[in-house]
Amino acid sequence: MEVRHWNAEVNGVSIHVAEQGPADGTAVLLLHGFPELWLSWRHQMAALAARGFRAVAPDLRGYGDSSAPADPAAYSMFHIVGDVVALLDHLQLTKVFVVGHDWGAQVAWHLCLFRPDRVRAVVTIGVPFFPRGPRSISEAFADRGDGFYITQFQEPGRAERAFARHDVATVLKKFYAIDFDDLTAPPGVEMVDFLEAPSSPLPWITEEELGLYAQKFHKSGFTGPLNYYRMVDMNWSLTAPWHGAKITVPAKFIAGDKDIGAQSFGIEQYIKSGGLKFNVPDLEVAIIDGHHFLQQEKADRVNSEILSYLDKFTGV
């Protein structure tokens, strides 16, 4: 079943969408992370389409063939979730299943927080829901110093200049191959220079697929994706009304047991201690063998986890 491509003019931007499966099938919205594209969902789209679902995978704003405003202020969580809601309106879909990975998981959680009426159930990969903390992100991570990746990403242009010292495919491979849990570079070193690009191909992505990613990032650049990080403190300020709010939507969280995201920042303890379940009462958790880019690395297992969960709601 072929992938269909189209663009929607929504929320003041143009959003590129890849779609697979019957147009009248039950919709599943797939939200990618950093630094990725709709293409990150190629395995899930095929599996969903084969089961009669309509898989809808946009390039989030700043990525691929979607609009990429230069101003960091255009990348608040309100803007990104606004794009998603406007896309659902454009498609005349009142309520959908949502699957998100990495930053896309953050967007999915906030969609559930802001507009639970639009989500039948959510599956997130790699990033659990965190309630709004007492301090901004910058304050919370201040003790990690200037080498911390989120800190380095704050200053407009800084990371872009560092990334530009490498070809685009190498930058992507450096991020795709991360397998340590503390993303802090030594003093005076930029994160992208500190990361190592493996000499051999990654087992879960072909050279041709990597080339497709690289081609899109070469065209659109990294400013849009980095601007998500530049808005973390603003998002903290903007979400004050939801302080203490829980996720009421039925949810499943999938993480790789070797995922840096699941092991760092006390996340593993947060999940195991019941903290996540407290904040997301209607929750299932699946910890499986794998690293961060789980839906590509362990596609069959992730497909099975997603489909078995959706089956509970669709009565298949």
> What integer pLDDT is reported at residue 182 of this predicted model?
78
> What integer pLDDT is reported at residue 305 of this predicted model?
98
Q: Is 102 an active-site residue?
A: yes
> What integer pLDDT is reported at residue 179 of this predicted model?
79
> What integer pLDDT is reported at residue 261 of this predicted model?
63
| Mean pLDDT score of the chain | 95
Annotated active-site residue in 79, 110, 291, 292: 292
pLDDT by residue (tens digit) across 1-39?
899 999 999 999 999 999 999 999 999 999 999 999 999
Alpha carbon 270 to its chain centroid, in Å, reads: 20
pLDDT by residue (tens digit) across 246-267?
999 999 999 998 886 666 667 8
CA distance 265 to 142: 13
Exposed, middle or buried: residue 56 (CB in 10 Å: 0-12, 13-18, 19+)? buried
pLDDT by residue (tens digit) across 227-251?
999 999 999 999 999 999 999 999 9
> What integer pLDDT is reported at residue 238 of this predicted model?
97
Close Cβ partners of 155 (under 8 Å, ≥ 6 residues apart): none
Question: Which of the two residues, 135 and 181, has the higher pLDDT score?
Answer: 135
Alpha carbon 80 to its chain centroid, in Å, reads: 11
Residue in the block written with tokens 């380095």: 152
Annotated active-site residue in 229, 270, 291, 309: 229
pLDDT by residue (tens digit) across 118-138?
999 999 999 999 999 999 999
Query: HEC profile for the chain?
Result: CCCEEEEEEECCEEEEEEEECCCCCCEEEEECCCCCCHHHHHHHHHHHHHCCCEEEEECCCCCCCCCCCCCHHHHCHHHHHHHHHHHHHHCCCCCEEEEEECHHHHHHHHHHHHCHHHEEEEEEECCCCCCCCCCCHHHHCHHHCCCEHHHHCCCCCHHHHHHCCCCHHHHHHHHHCCCCCCCECCCCCCHHHHCCCCCCCCCCCCHHHHHHHHHHHHHHCCHHHHHHHHCHHHHHHHCHHHCCCCCCCCEEEEEECCCHHHHCCCHHHHHHCCHHHHHCCCEEEEEECCCCCHHHHCHHHHHHHHHHHHHHHHCC
Question: Do 25 and 53 meet the contact criterion of CB atoms below 8 Å apart?
Answer: yes
Inform me whether the pLDDT recorded for 269 exceeds 90.
no
> What integer pLDDT is reported at residue 166 of this predicted model?
97
pLDDT by residue (tens digit) across 207-223?
999 999 999 999 999 99
**Is the backbone of residue 236 left (phi > 0), alpha (psi -120 to 50) or beta?**
alpha
Neighbour tally for 242: CB within 10 Å:
13
> What integer pLDDT is reported at residue 264 of this predicted model?
62
Mean pLDDT in residue range 82-108 = 98
Q: Is 193 an active-site residue?
A: no
pLDDT by residue (tens digit) across 147-177?
999 999 999 999 999 999 999 999 999 999 9
> What integer pLDDT is reported at residue 79 of this predicted model?
98
Q: Is 300 an active-site residue?
A: no
Inform me whether the pLDDT recorded for 183 exceeds 60.
yes
> What integer pLDDT is reported at residue 263 of this predicted model?
60
Provide, rounded to the nearest whole percent, the portion of the chain with pLDDT above 70: 98
Annotated active-site residue in 102, 149, 176, 270: 102
> What integer pLDDT is reported at residue 262 of this predicted model?
64
> What integer pLDDT is reported at residue 295 of this predicted model?
98
Provide, rounded to the nearest whole percent, the portion of the chain with pLDDT above 90: 91
